Amino acid sequence: MRKLFGTDGIRAVAGEAPLDKRTIYAVGVALATKLAEAHHPVRIVMGMDTRESCPWIAATLTAGLRAAGADVASAGVLTTPAIAFLARKHGFSAGVVISASHNPWQDNGIKIFAHDGYKLPDEVELGIESEITKVLATNPTVPENPAVPEVNESYRADYIRFLLTAVPGISLDNRHIVLDCANGAASSVAPQLFESLHGTVDVTHASPDGRNINEHCGALHPEIVAAQVKVSGASMGITFDGDADRALFADENGNVVNGDAIMLACARDLQARGELANNLVVATTMSNMGLEAAFARSGIRMLRAPVGDKYVLEEMRNSGASLGGEQSGHILFPARATTGDGLLTALLVLDLVHRSHKPLGQLIADLTNYPQIILNVKVREKLPLNTFPTIVAAIAAAEADLSTTGRVVIRYSGTEALARVMIEAESAEAMHHHATTIANAIRTELGV
């Protein structure tokens, strides 16, 4: 079982294990050592989001990589999917991103992409973890003030060209949109990209200060951009998370549009163009039952994968699906990119609206969601839930009551110390009752 890597790399409070300097240095040495088994020379491209801890983490990681013989190129502040693209385009051995995505500014993380632009398989992460343990056992000396490579600004231009090429002829057609950059990595790319598309663009939350990433803005708070759409009379709102690998939207009426709805609109468009392979879409256990029903009405089958875009992509590759994603806004278009990309998703949705001559709200008007609630419970440790009788009993009662009229999904977050309680039901009263009961049971047994 992996101990350092979660569903999206290594993530923790910056400065605390496993994101203390000693471990970060060991990650660099271990990664370069493992890559050297297949790559000569080892070349790494590195990017980061806007957290104040990113520069010292990047410097420490670079020192470890270089100590093991790797060459490191810096893309500076740039989105996670941009690094995946650059790793593949320029033949790097790997791409590394310093980011904690949607987490608060105090957290940070290390994400790794293979030379082909895909996230590392679990077994490869296990191998790196084993090597990290070996490095730490040698009690390595971490340099006091390691240097970082000079930022190569051409990488950003490369990525913008890729996005525009991926959606040829993209234009806002003089439409008015609101763009929320979450004070994160999108701030370095999105304003330049969207302001070149011949429309009116209100850019918000694009002034990062190291601590305001995701703070009351971005994909964690899509209601913010939705309200701005209403106030400004814009035709659409788009909001990203801290590293811009996902996007959520607001329609022309100021309603929040999540990843489920975007998958529905995109699936129907691909189906109409004969590009929806096997009439199949891969979602996750968190996607609403209403989405499944809407797909069925269009003759589209939906498979569910575990939460995490890497697991969605894994199921897509196994099933041959050409579209997949998460309710949270990770949408995967494997014909165009190797990972979820919020900026690419935004361009494709704008292109769909343009070609259909319909506003976003109209494209998803028949999507009726079951009442759904997600409660997050902070936990002190992630022990198996089935070892606690009170939690087991609460879950069993909910499953029995909702056997044909809802769903119960209880899981630990792969990136935070949280248990997530998701209940979906025809009855809002039953939904709230069971969600609260299960959350209270978890809080009693494992709560902070």
Residue 324's beta-bridge partner residues? Answer: 282, 332
Structure tokens at 324: 């997949």
Q: How far apart are CA 325 and CA 333, in angstroms?
A: 9
- For residues 117 and 93, is the Cβ–Cβ distance under 8 A? no
At 305 the three-state DSSP class reads strand
Torsion angles phi and psi, residue 68, rounded to 5: -100, 15
Q: How far apart are CA 48 and CA 56, in angstroms?
A: 11
Q: How far apart are CA 24 and CA 369, in angstroms?
A: 43
In one letter, which amino acid is 149? P
Does residue 101 have an active-site annotation?
yes
Give which of 379, 361, 373 is closest to 398, Cα–Cα.
373
Transcribe 210-246 into DSSP letters: SS-TTTT-GGG-HHHHHHHHHHHT-SEEEEE-TTSS-
- For residues 424 and 431, is the Cβ–Cβ distance under 8 A? yes
Give which of 215, 229, 253 is closest to 179, Cα–Cα.
229
Longest alpha-carbon distance in the chain: 63
Give which of 183, 190, 248, 184 is closest to 222, Cα–Cα.
248
Question: Is the peptide bond between 306 and the residue preceding it cis, with omega within 30 degrees of 0?
Answer: no
Rg of the chain's alpha carbons, rounded to an integer?
Answer: 22
Q: Exactly one of 101, 187, 188, 235 is catalytic; which is it?
A: 101
Rounded to the nearest angstrom, the gap between the alpha carbon of residue 214 and the centroid of all alpha carbons in its chain is 13
Helix, strand and coil content of the chain, in percent to the nearest 5, comes to 40, 20, 40
Q: How far is CA 215 from CA 180, 208, 221, 241, 334, in A?
A: 12, 10, 9, 10, 31
Transcribe 24-91 into DSSP letters: HHHHHHHHHHHHTTT-SS-EEEEEE-S-TTHHHHHHHHHHHHHHTT-EEEEEEE--HHHHHHHHHHTT
- For residues 70 and 38, is the Cβ–Cβ distance under 8 A? no
Catalytic positions are 101
